[in-house]
Structure 1
Amino acid sequence: MAATSVALAGADNKKLDGVNLLPFLQGTRQGSPHQALFWRLEEAPNIYAVRTADYKYMNQPLPNVGRSFFDMKADPYEQHNLVDTLPAEQAKLAKLWNEWNKHNTNNVLQQSWEYKAQIDKFFEQLNKQNIEQAKQIPNYIIK
């Protein structure tokens, strides 16, 4: 969305990760704006995914989730996990993801446990203040 927003503002968006969607929305370009879509969570470095028109691979090291691989054309509702099949297709997705991810940098603030602790403390104090302020508001009485 950033590349599209910057293009709408008339600024240069060539250095942004993403695609200007305006030509697709205006009908001057056809097809898919992306060869693949990628996800990764900074807070949980082992959670990531890659999606192409044909396949989707996800790694979510959570209880009862784990790895999953779906044939999106044959199974668009992701009912049949094929994670133990089609290793060549999974390798293609891994290559795409690794190529994309090598250009990414970690968010320094999110990687700092000290920063996270300060943020958690701030919101805990803010929540306590809000609760105390709410206690000062008189109850509504309907007559």
Structure 2
Amino acid sequence: MSATTSSLPVAVGTVTSYAFWGDDGRALADFYAAALGWKATQEYPDENGVPTAFLVTDGTTTFVFYTARDFTAPDWPKDELPFHLDLAFDDVETAEQRLLGLGATKPAHQPGGDNWTVLMDPSGQPFCISARWQES
């Protein structure tokens, strides 16, 4: 029996957090907390008691940033990305300058034209910034 024709009740789930790996989870948590105006709320230790997971939230959405011992940043744009973040701001130019001041870098490759700007977070992973979407 396929999943679409199963007689089992449909399980409805919710996403509770989004997790990201990097070479320094604390640095990523601090960067994204500052970038979004959110708060770093909790940290979790590994089996040796060393904090390796750090939570950042606005009260409704939670990001978890992990310190991964063997993390290697993608060689973007050569490497495909399993996922990335798109962040929207009212003033994209001001946001870009602020993010660069927080430790982001701007790669030469910018495939978004006037639609979005690609930046690299402190771990070397790309994310995009753009203007907030306006409903028409």
TM-score with structure 2 length normalisation?
0.24
Structure in which a larger fraction of residues adopt helix: 1
| Bigger Rg over Cα | 1
Structure in which a larger fraction of residues adopt strand: 2
Q: Which has the higher contact order (CA 8 A, sep 6+)?
A: 2
